[in-house]
């Protein structure tokens, strides 16, 4: 499908076939490689502001490579599609690397552009896949691809799916998309490729291209302030993950740091992709589409006031429970499960702590900035059931209103000899032996549990 009066420019960034973003600084500057992927299909000969789009695209590319020629640690390349076969042939593999990567090769690219003619089809997806092989397998490089085209894919393929697949392999990352003279509906179809810009005129196109190059080559830093409720940057030592929000894969993992003056660490972040930031507090804080301005020193603030939950076991040796645990929840659901003896930072807020005693205890509390909230439980006692019978039964808690709450089922049909740590309180044992001939032979015994003591309930056959 083709659209007249349109030039599209896409920028993608990658790190090579198997490379992953690295946190540690690299002593040697990374090489940035920019591959120009140029549409030479027949429709590029249509007029745009009084001259063929093909001529405008070649002129703009020539000026761009001239302006880039003096940059250090920069290599350029040129791939073209649609220039080897006539449009009538509908060739969907008409794509070729015309100028391989090399430093300061603007002249080679301009000389090649002067010899090319626009004539064929628009195999964008195929060209994207082939361009992945044009970059050297240098894991320390930054691979940037600029696609210039006057239409959408014409080979019944999906360039958006191909783009995401390549991004997941860390070949390309999120693209920039620049549509020139594009209708709104056309732009919507390009948003799946990345950040879309609509440049309706040649001068606007030039401005957008300059902006893209600035984003490609300028240094970007980010400092994250983790603040309390009043905006003071007092929090630190929290894990943070910068997540590529196209592939949903982590690009950078850091543990937050503040220096002796309280200033947050300055991080080098590649701006040629977009991120969600996961601040791994409990519960986590996630900021989607992180507002990073390329080429500047970004300072971003996030409220993460934290207090400390302290799970404190009662002073009882030995503790019949052994190691006790608790489940911490907020309004959104379970936050974390912790053993007693833990000290765990939580975001300030209201929580429910369920202590996994028998019966379970629920404590509702408010975590406040910089403060400890202590949760404990009464020292347990032990229920000792002695019997010479096998049977069926349960333990109930007796409530203050004389109702009862089921708590625990005895081993079904097996021996009912039980030593069961329980919280202090009033309880009831309901039991029927396996050999009894009816429900009327159910035995009901009330008993109490006291901290640090053993309560025995004996059931014997007559």
Q: What is the pLDDT of residue 4?
A: 46
pLDDT of 13 higher than 60: no
Phi-psi region of 349 (alpha: psi -120 to 50; beta: other; left: phi over 0): left
Under the banding of pLDDT at 50, 70 and 90, the label for residue 454 is very high
Owner of token pair 């783009």: 163
* Least trusted range by pLDDT, from 181-190, 248-257, 409-418: 181-190
Q: Which residues have CB under 8 Å from 291's CB, separation 6+?
A: 298, 300
Q: What is the pLDDT of residue 38?
A: 92
Q: What is the pLDDT of residue 183?
A: 55
pLDDT of 318 higher than 90: no
CA angle 139, 141, 147 (to 5 degrees): 120
Q: What is the pLDDT of residue 172?
A: 64
Domains (ranges, CATH) in the chain? Answer: 7-217 (3.40.50.410), 221-304 (2.60.40.1120), 307-375 (2.60.40), 381-459 (2.60.40.180)
Q: What is the CA radius of gyration of the chain?
A: 34
* Least trusted range by pLDDT, from 59-73, 102-116, 233-247: 59-73
Q: What is the pLDDT of residue 356?
A: 96
pLDDT of 1 higher than 50: no
Q: What is the pLDDT of residue 367?
A: 98
Bond into 283 cis (ω within 30): yes
Most confident listed range (60-74, 329-343, 433-447) = 329-343
What is the average per-residue pLDDT within 383-392? 87
Under the banding of pLDDT at 50, 70 and 90, the label for residue 174 is low
What is the average per-residue pLDDT within 424-448? 93
What is the average per-residue pLDDT within 77-86? 95
pLDDT of 27 higher than 80: no
Cα pseudo-dihedral 338, 341, 343, 346, rounded to 10: 30
What is the average per-residue pLDDT within 212-222? 84
Mean pLDDT (the chain, rounded): 86
Q: What is the pLDDT of residue 5?
A: 45
Per-residue model confidence as pLDDT tens digits over 175-193: 676 665 555 566 677 677 7
Q: What is the pLDDT of residue 7?
A: 44
Q: What is the pLDDT of residue 26?
A: 46
Q: Which residues have CB under 8 Å from 290's CB, separation 6+?
A: 242, 274, 275, 276, 277, 300
Q: What is the pLDDT of residue 413?
A: 64
pLDDT > 90 in the chain, percent: 54
What is the average per-residue pLDDT within 213-219? 81
> Between residues 43 and 427, which one has the greater pLDDT?
427
Q: Which residues have CB under 8 Å from 406's CB, separation 6+?
A: 394, 396
**Integer Cα distance of 134 and 438 in angstroms:** 84
Per-residue model confidence as pLDDT tens digits over 91-146: 999 999 999 999 999 999 999 999 999 999 999 899 999 988 998 887 778 888 88
* Least trusted range by pLDDT, from 77-86, 352-361, 386-395, 411-420: 411-420
pLDDT > 70 in the chain, percent: 88
Under the banding of pLDDT at 50, 70 and 90, the label for residue 3 is very low
> Tokens at residue 277, please?
């930031």
pTM of the model: 0.75
Q: What is the pLDDT of residue 379?
A: 94
| CA-wise closest residue to 93 among 119, 122, 113 | 122
What is the average per-residue pLDDT within 408-422? 80
Q: What is the pLDDT of residue 18?
A: 36
Q: In what order do the strands lie in the sheet with 372-375?
A: 343-347, 306-311, 372-375
* Three-class HEC string of the chain: CECCCCEEEEEEEECCCCCCCCCCCCCCCCCEEEEEEEECEHHHHCEECCEEHHHHHHHHHHHHHHHHCCCCCEEEEEEEECCCCCHHHCCCCCEEEEEEEEECCHHHHHHHHHHCCCCECCCHHHHHHHHCCCCCCCCCCEEEEEEEECECCCCCCCHHHHHHHHHHCCCCCCCEEEEECCCHHHHHHHHHHCEEEEECCHHHHHHHHHHHHHHHHCCCEEEEEEECCCCCCCECCCEEEEEECCCCEEEEEEECCECCCCCECEEECCCCCCEEEEECCCCCEEECCCCCCCCCEEEEEEECCEEEEEECCCCCCCCCCCCCEEEEEECCEEEEEEECCCEEEEECEEEEEEECCCCCEEEEEEECCCCEEEECCCCCEEEEEEECCEEEEEEEEECCCCCEEEEEECCCCCECCEEEEECCEEEEEEEEECCCCCHHHCEEEEEEECCCCEEEEEECCC
pLDDT of 8 higher than 60: no
Q: What is the pLDDT of residue 226?
A: 97
Q: What is the pLDDT of residue 47?
A: 83
Under the banding of pLDDT at 50, 70 and 90, the label for residue 416 is low
Q: What is the pLDDT of residue 219?
A: 86
* C-alpha to C-alpha distances, 333 to 15, 327, 346, nearest whole angstrom: 38, 10, 14
Distance of CA 138 to the CA centre of its chain: 26
Q: What is the pLDDT of residue 363?
A: 97
* Least trusted range by pLDDT, from 25-29, 166-170, 330-334: 25-29
């Amino acid at each position: 499908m083709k659209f007249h009066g349109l030039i599209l420019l896409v920028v993608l960034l990658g790190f090579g076939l198997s490379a992953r973003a690295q946190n540690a600084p690299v002593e040697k500057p990374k090489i940035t490689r920019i591959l120009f992927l140029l549409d030479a299909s027949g429709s590029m000969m249509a007029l745009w502001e009084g001259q063929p789009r093909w001529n405008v695209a070649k002129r703009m590319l020539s000026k761009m490579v001239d302006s880039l020629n003096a940059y250090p640690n920069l290599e350029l390349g040129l791939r073209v599609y649609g220039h080897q076969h006539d449009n009538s042939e509908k060739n969907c593999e008409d794509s070729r690397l015309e100028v391989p990567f090399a430093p300061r090769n603007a002249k080679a690219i301009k000389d090649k552009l002067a010899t090319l003619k626009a004539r064929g089809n628009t195999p964008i997806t195929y060209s994207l896949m082939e361009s992945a092989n044009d970059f050297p397998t240098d894991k320390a490089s930054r691979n940037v691809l600029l696609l210039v085209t006057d239409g959408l894919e014409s080979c019944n393929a999906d360039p958006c799916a191909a783009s995401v697949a390549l991004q997941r392999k860390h070949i390309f990352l999120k693209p920039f998309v620049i549509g020139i003279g594009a209708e709104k509906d056309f732009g919507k179809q390009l948003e799946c490729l990345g950040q879309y810009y609509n440049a309706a005129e040649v001068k606007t196109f030039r401005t957008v291209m300059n902006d893209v190059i600035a984003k490609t080559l300028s240094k970007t830093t980010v400092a994250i302030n983790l603040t309390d409720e009043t905006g003071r940057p007092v929090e630190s030592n929290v894990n943070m993950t910068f997540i590529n929000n196209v592939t949903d894969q982590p690009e950078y993992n850091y543990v937050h740091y503040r220096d002796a003056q309280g200033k947050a660490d300055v991080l080098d972040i590649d701006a040629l992709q977009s991120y969600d930031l996961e601040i791994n507090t409990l519960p986590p804080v996630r900021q989607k589409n992180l507002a990073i301005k390329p080429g500047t020193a970004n300072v971003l603030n996030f409220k993460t006031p934290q207090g400390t939950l302290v799970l404190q076991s009662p002073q009882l040796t030995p503790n019949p429970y052994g190691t006790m645990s608790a489940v911490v929840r907020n309004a959104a659901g379970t936050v974390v499960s912790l053993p007693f003896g833990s000290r765990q930072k939580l975001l300030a807020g209201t929580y429910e702590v369920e202590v996994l005693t028998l019966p379970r205890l629920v404590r509702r509390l408010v975590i406040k900035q910089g403060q400890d909230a202590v949760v404990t439980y009464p020292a347990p006692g032990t229920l000792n059931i002695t019997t010479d019978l096998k049977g069926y039964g349960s333990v109930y808690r007796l409530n203050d209103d004389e109702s009862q709450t089921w708590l625990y089922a005895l081993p079904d049909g097996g021996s009912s000899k039980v030593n069961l740590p329980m919280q202090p309180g009033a309880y009831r044992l309901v039991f029927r032996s396996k050999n009894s001939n009816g429900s009327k032979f159910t035995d009901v015994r009330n008993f109490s549990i006291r901290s640090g003591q053993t309560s025995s309930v004996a059931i014997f056959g007559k």
